[in-house]
């Protein structure tokens, strides 16, 4: 692969790195004559169409990022089964290499690096791009000290399509956020968690979690607390440790609100008044549901026993016996009544209990429209309801990933086992940006009639004919919403025209050099007798001096084969008179058998000076010498052929 050329313009030279998903080569862009880095997808991923589609889409989205701390993406392409990304080449090393060599890093240096990473994330998050794979391997440090974050845009493709590839997980699980390890939805705060781990590793030389397998490391992200950084490196200021503790909170809501907030905290953490601030106490989390203690069904309250004995009346034994019999009858009746009440109560209780086992309670459906799907599912689960996703639809109002419709609707009461059907928004309906490169401007305008606006810039080009599209923004295959998208086209004006240089009176070599410098081509030479010395240019065609010409034009020159027989060469003296010690510009124009108003001399002098002007005359061409002083005519002298030869040409 090291000698292969991709896209007809990217020549791969040296392999500079690689991972489980791709191999990176140093290359050369032949069209723009610059060094680039080319990331080539490994063949085993080239057969997964869904992976390739997301790989290209996310990479193209990342190409919109323009920030000094983000590696620029120049191009995304495919050649046969080879998929590749062309990006800025950074001459330096990865942060991982620096950590291996110098860890623990000086705190000032580590904070400075973390700030630049954070600013890159802030820029990406503003463009709704989440990295998802922040780790020292993806942080480049140039020889000038500039920090560059790379691999923006492809982490989504990796985590969705290759999470089961062991090689991929091993390289990133140490920097996973808990929500990534859990397989949940990741957001901006996942990147901040990963940045916190990178800062932890820079200042301690250790990772917060390690294990024998990716699963064991992922579980530690979810369940265990790491050693505080100052336990490993007591020289770390408390303010820096506090930033790490906040970034590494297991609950996203307890981390920084944004990358901007974390960057602002990093920028002040080394100020003297903050170095030894109070240690941050992590917020209490609720990862584990509290154990519910249900009260046991109690026994019936104890009742006082009835005194069933009646004391006999000592005075009337007979009457006492009768009263005793009556009392016993009353007690028996009371016992029967109580027994019946107890049986009825128990029967009612048992019936209610049985009904509770078969009758499902009704629950009021909460409102989850316009909520992210994961939060909507959680809210329904907390209400005791199940949920199912029944499909996705485009929606102009609700962001992609949020619930656009629920069935049953909010506030309707349903039984607990009835699932709430959710429809998820795919966001505004998008299409893929067409490739307009090299199309005629009118054709490109026709293809863009549904777009919000088309802005056209015109530039000269030595390679693309006038009227054709040179470049476009957004790039081809970028997902766009036409009604909201402003398209920028650069249309070729063709080759830039300029004034044709004057080659008359030059030698062949001088003329060739002038043509080469201006991008013109010497097509050939001819010879003829003239009033010029042998070897000098007499004529040029098809473009005359001063006429407009474009690079690439072919020019033929005619060289003098020697003076004509009637040519007469003379040297004529002429005086330029100026005021002493006053710098004056003298211009001398010559017209003779060779030239018409030829600028013979132009110079600045401070005292009068005599010039010797060489002339060529012929029977049909006299000579004129004109002298200008600071642009004002001073003298004109005519030298005639008759005067020089002593002949009468008037016949």
List of long-range contacts for 23-31, beta carbons under 8 Å, 24+ apart: 25/1, 26/89, 27/86, 27/89, 29/74, 29/86, 30/5
Q: Which of 21, 55, 88 is the last residue of a domain?
A: 88
Q: Which of 215, 242, 268 is the last residue of a domain?
A: 268
Q: Residues 193, 257: one domain?
A: yes
Q: Residues 116, 234: one domain?
A: yes
Whole-number pLDDT of residue 323? 54
Q: Residues 53, 117: one domain?
A: no
Whole-number pLDDT of residue 347? 78
133 is catalytic: yes
Q: Is residue 250 part of a domain?
A: yes
The answer to whether 636 and 584 are in contact (CB under 8 A) is no
CATH classification of the domain holding 18: 3.30.200.20
CATH classification of the domain holding 106: 1.10.510.10
Q: Is residue 306 part of a domain?
A: no
Cα 118 to Cα 188, 198, 247, 530: the distances in Å are 11, 11, 12, 75
Q: Residues 257, 110: one domain?
A: yes
Give CA–CA dist 195/175, Å, rounded: 8
Q: Residues 158, 179: one domain?
A: yes
Q: Residues 479, 517: one domain?
A: no
- What average pLDDT does range 309-332 have in this prediction? 53
pLDDT digits over 589-643, tens only?
999 999 988 899 999 999 999 999 999 999 999 999 999 999 999 999 999 999 8
Q: Residue 29, CB half-sphere, CA atoms under 13 Å: how many?
A: 15
Q: Is residue 302 part of a domain?
A: no
pLDDT digits over 155-212, tens only?
454 443 333 333 333 337 899 899 888 876 678 999 999 999 999 999 999 999 988 8
Domain that holds residue 613: 568-645
Joined tokens for residue 1: 């692969």
364, containing H or E segment? strand 362-364
Q: Is residue 181 part of a domain?
A: yes
Q: Is residue 310 part of a domain?
A: no
| Domain count along the chain | 6
Nearest by Cα to 198 from 244, 251, 143, 239: 244
Joined tokens for residue 7: 């896209």
- What average pLDDT does range 300-319 have in this prediction? 40
Bigger pLDDT: 305 or 341? 341
Whole-number pLDDT of residue 55? 74
The angle formed by the CA atoms of residues 221, 222 and 226, to the nearest 5 degrees, is 45
Q: Residues 12, 153: one domain?
A: no
Q: Which of 246, 268, 290 is the last residue of a domain?
A: 268
CATH classification of the domain holding 580: 2.60.40.2560
Whole-number pLDDT of residue 167? 36
Residues of the chain by 3-state class (helix, strand, coil), percent to 5: 30, 30, 40
Given the residues 29, 75, 133, 592, select the one marked as catalytic: 133
Residue with tokens 């599912």: 377
Lowest mean pLDDT: which of 227-231, 427-431, 624-628, 637-641?
Answer: 427-431
Query: 450 by DSSP, 3-state: which?
Result: coil
Q: Is 132 left (phi over 0), alpha (psi -120 to 50) or beta?
A: left
Please state whether beta strands 420-425 and 387-393 pair in parallel, antiparallel, or not at all (unpaired).
parallel
Task: Give me the DSSP letters along 217-275.
Answer: HHHHHHH-PPPPHHHH-TTS-HHHHHHHHHHT-SSGGGS-SSHHHHHHHHHHTTSTTTT
Q: Is residue 323 part of a domain?
A: no
Q: Is residue 322 part of a domain?
A: no
- What average pLDDT does range 7-14 have in this prediction? 91
Q: Residues 142, 263: one domain?
A: yes
Query: 458 by DSSP, 3-state: which?
Result: strand
Q: Residues 107, 228: one domain?
A: yes
Q: Is residue 344 part of a domain?
A: no
Q: Residues 249, 202: one domain?
A: yes
CATH classification of the domain holding 454: 3.30.10.20
Q: Residues 471, 540: one domain?
A: no
Q: Residues 175, 72: one domain?
A: no
pLDDT digits over 378-400, tens only?
999 999 999 999 888 888 788 99
Bigger pLDDT: 20 or 88? 88
Nearest by Cα to 93 from 135, 61, 56, 139: 139
């Amino acid at each position: 692969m090291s000698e292969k050329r991709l896209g007809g313009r990217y020549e791969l030279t040296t392999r500079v790195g690689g991972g489980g998903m791709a191999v990176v080569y140093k290359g050369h862009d032949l069209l723009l004559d610059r060094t680039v880095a080319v990331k080539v997808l490994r063949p085993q991923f080239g057969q997964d169409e869904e992976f390739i589609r997301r790989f290209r889409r996310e990479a193209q989205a990342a190409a919109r990022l323009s920030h000094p701390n983000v590696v620029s993406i120049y191009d995304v392409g495919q050649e046969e089964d080879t998929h590749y990304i062309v990006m800025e080449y950074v001459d330096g090393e990865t942060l991982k290499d620096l950590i291996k060599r110098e860890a623990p890093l000086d705190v000032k240096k580590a904070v400075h690096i973390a700030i630049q990473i954070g600013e890159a994330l802030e820029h990406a998050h503003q463009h709704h791009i989440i990295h998802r794979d922040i780790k020292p391997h993806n942080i480049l440090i140039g020889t000038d000290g500039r920090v560059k974050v790379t691999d923006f845009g492809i982490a989504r493709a990796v985590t969705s399509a290759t999470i089961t590839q062991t090689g991929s997980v091993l390289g990133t699980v140490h920097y996973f956020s808990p929500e990534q390890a859990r397989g949940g939805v990741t957001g901006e705060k996942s990147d901040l968690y990963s940045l916190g781990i990178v800062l932890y590793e820079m200042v301690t030389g250790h990772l917060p979690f390690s294990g024998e397998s990716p699963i064991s490391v992922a579980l530690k992200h979810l369940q265990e607390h790491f050693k505080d950084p100052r336990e490993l490196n007591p020289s770390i200021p408390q303010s820096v440790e506090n930033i790490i503790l906040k970034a590494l909170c297991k609950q996203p809501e307890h981390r920084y609100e944004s990358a901007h907030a974390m960057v602002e905290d990093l920028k002040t953490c080394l100020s003297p008044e903050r170095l030894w601030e109070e240690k941050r106490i992590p917020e209490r989390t609720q990862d584990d549901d509290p154990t519910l203690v249900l009260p046991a069904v109690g026994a019936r309250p104890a009742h006082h026993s009835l005194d069933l004995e009646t004391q006999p009346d000592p005075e009337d034994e007979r009457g006492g016996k009768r009263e005793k019999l009556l009392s016993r009858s009353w007690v028996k009746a009371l016992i029967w009544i109580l027994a019946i009440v107890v049986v009825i109560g128990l029967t009612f209780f048992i019936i209610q209990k049985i009904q509770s086992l078969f009758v499902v309670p009704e629950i009021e459906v909460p409102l989850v429209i316009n909520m992210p799907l994961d939060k909507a599912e959680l809210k329904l689960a907390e209400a005791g309801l199940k949920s199912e996703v029944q499909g996705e639809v485009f929606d102009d109002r609700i962001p992609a990933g949020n619930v656009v419709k629920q069935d049953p609707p909010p506030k309707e009461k349903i039984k607990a086992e009835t699932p709430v059907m959710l429809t998820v928004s795919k966001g505004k309906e998008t299409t893929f940006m067409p490739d307009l490169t090299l199309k005629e401007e009118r054709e490109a305008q026709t293809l863009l009639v549904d777009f919000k606006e088309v802005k056209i810039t015109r530039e000269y080009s030595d390679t693309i004919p006038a009227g054709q599209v040179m470049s476009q923004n957004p790039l081809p295959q970028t997902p766009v919403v036409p009604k909201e998208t402003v398209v920028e086209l650069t249309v070729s004006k063709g080759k830039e025209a300029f004034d044709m240089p004057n080659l008359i009176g030059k030698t062949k070599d001088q003329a060739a050099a002038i043509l080469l410098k201006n991008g013109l081509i010497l097509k050939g030479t001819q010879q003829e007798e003239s009033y010029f010395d042998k070897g000098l240019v007499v004529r040029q065609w098809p473009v005359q001096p001063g006429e407009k010409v474009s690079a690439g034009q072919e020019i033929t020159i005619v060289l003098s084969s020697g003076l004509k027989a009637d040519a007469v060469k003379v040297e004529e003296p002429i005086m330029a008179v100026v005021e002493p010690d006053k710098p004056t510009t003298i211009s001398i124009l010559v017209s003779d058998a060779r030239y018409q108003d030829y600028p013979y001399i132009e110079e600045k002098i401070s005292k009068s000076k005599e010039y010797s002007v060489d002339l060529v005359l012929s029977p049909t061409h006299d000579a004129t010498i004109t002298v200008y002083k600071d642009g004002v005519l001073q003298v004109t002298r005519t030298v005639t052929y008759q005067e020089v030869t002593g002949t009468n040409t008037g016949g």
